């Protein structure tokens, strides 16, 4: 048996035993892909040519729909989520990573389901499965940046939303420096601040891959405390969980993938002086 075949079998066995996600593929372990700093640099180049999205809403109360881990292929639950967001008149919809299984065609299937931006602004984030088979190339072609911000302007206030790329568990030095600058320079101008990522920073199940670096976790929590970040919302673990550290609430989303018994999504309700949320089961 050839060395490469033996290596593939070994890697497949390791992933089946230690996998970070419950879809097991060895492609990301065999095929090289960009580092987080390289993806960040490309995201910043895209940001330089495109304005950050500012959404204006007519009332002080509005909703954001948030989902994670569609793992397209199939799109039944994704379309339910998007349809509910449109019907509710949501200000926008955030997709917190693992939007595909990593196959090239899946990115195009996913993109075709999205409503026009004039009907529902959408904000995708890259996940670890989206990087398989050089998936970042397809992601970047269709969606551009994975590190960015957007804002929502109400008649009396404005809120800040920050989307981060930690698809490989680490934010990387360049993205951390960018986050620090955004929080220091922009955060004081806004009423609320919420961060979206794919990989959750606090583990709710044991895994040996895609674990955040302890130093980054400490730095992130300190930044949240110092700059009054209201929430950090992530996917990846496929099961809802909530916790609070200081004044920051950390939320983990349910999986949205078709066929899951706990499939669901999140609705954020933003009002003049409160942020509340509702987990919606499918």
What's the pLDDT score for residue 211?
67
pTM over 0.85: yes
Which tops the pLDDT comparison, 253 or 6? 253
**Helix (H) and strand (E) counts in the chain:** 8, 12
For residues 122 and 276, give the distance between their C-alpha atoms in angstroms, rounded to a whole number: 20
What's the pLDDT score for residue 206?
64
What's the pLDDT score for residue 7?
44
Instruction: Output phi, psi for 110, to 5 deg.
Output: -60, -50
What's the pLDDT score for residue 272?
87
Sorting pLDDT into bands at 50, 70 and 90, what band is 28?
Answer: low
List pLDDT tens digits, range 63-106: 999 999 999 989 999 999 999 999 999 999 999 999 998 788 89
What's the pLDDT score for residue 17?
38
Q: Is pLDDT above 60 for 30? A: no
What's the pLDDT score for residue 18?
39
> Where do the structural domains in the chain lie, given as residue ranges?
33-281
Q: What is the mean pLDDT of residues 160-171?
A: 93
Lowest mean pLDDT among 29-43, 98-112, 122-136, 227-241: 29-43
> Which run of H or E residues covers position 41?
helix 36-49
For residues 185 and 174, give the distance between their C-alpha atoms in angstroms, rounded to a whole number: 17
What's the pLDDT score for residue 204?
67
List pLDDT tens digits, range 179-221: 999 999 999 999 999 999 999 887 766 665 666 677 888 889 9
List pLDDT tens digits, range 238-272: 999 999 999 999 999 999 999 999 999 999 999 98
What's the pLDDT score for residue 9?
46
What's the pLDDT score for residue 213?
72
List pLDDT tens digits, range 32-67: 378 999 999 999 999 999 999 999 999 999 999 999
CATH architecture of 33-281: 4-Layer Sandwich (3.60)
Q: What is the token pair recorded at 53?
A: 């999205």
Residue 223's alpha-carbon distances to 142, 160, 172, 274, in angstroms, are 31, 15, 15, 21
């Amino acid at each position: 048996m050839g060395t490469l075949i033996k290596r593939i079998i070994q890697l497949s066995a390791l992933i089946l035993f230690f996998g970070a996600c419950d879809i097991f593929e060895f492609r990301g372990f065999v095929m090289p892909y960009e580092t987080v700093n390289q993806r960040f640099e490309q995201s910043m180049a895209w940001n330089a040519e495109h304005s950050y999205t500012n959404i204006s809403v007519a009332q002080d109360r509005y909703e954001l729909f948030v989902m994670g881990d569609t793992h397209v292929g199939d799109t039944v639950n994704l379309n339910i989520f998007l349809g509910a967001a449109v019907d509710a008149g949501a200000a926008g919809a955030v997709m917190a990573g693992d939007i595909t299984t990593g196959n090239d065609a899946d990115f195009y299937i996913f993109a075709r389901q999205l409503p026009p931006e004039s009907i529902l602004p959408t904000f995708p984030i890259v996940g670890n499965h989206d990087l398989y088979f050089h998936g970042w190339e397809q992601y970047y072609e269709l969606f551009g940046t994975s590190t960015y911000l957007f804002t929502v302007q109400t008649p009396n206030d404005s809120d800040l939303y920050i989307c981060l790329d930690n698809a490989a568990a680490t934010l990387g030095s360049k993205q951390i420096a960018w986050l620090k600058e955004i929080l220091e320079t922009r955060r004081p101008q806004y009423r609320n601040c919420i961060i979206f990522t794919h990989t959750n920073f606090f583990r709710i199940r044991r895994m040996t891959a895609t674990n955040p670096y302890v130093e980054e976790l400490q730095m992130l929590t300190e930044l949240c405390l110092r700059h009054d970040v209201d929430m950090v919302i992530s996917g990846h673990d496929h099961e809802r969980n909530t916790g609070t550290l200081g004044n920051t609430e950390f939320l983990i989303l349910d999986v949205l993938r078709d066929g899951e018994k706990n499939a669901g999504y999140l609705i954020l309700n933003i009002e003049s002086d409160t942020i509340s949320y509702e987990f919606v089961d499918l």
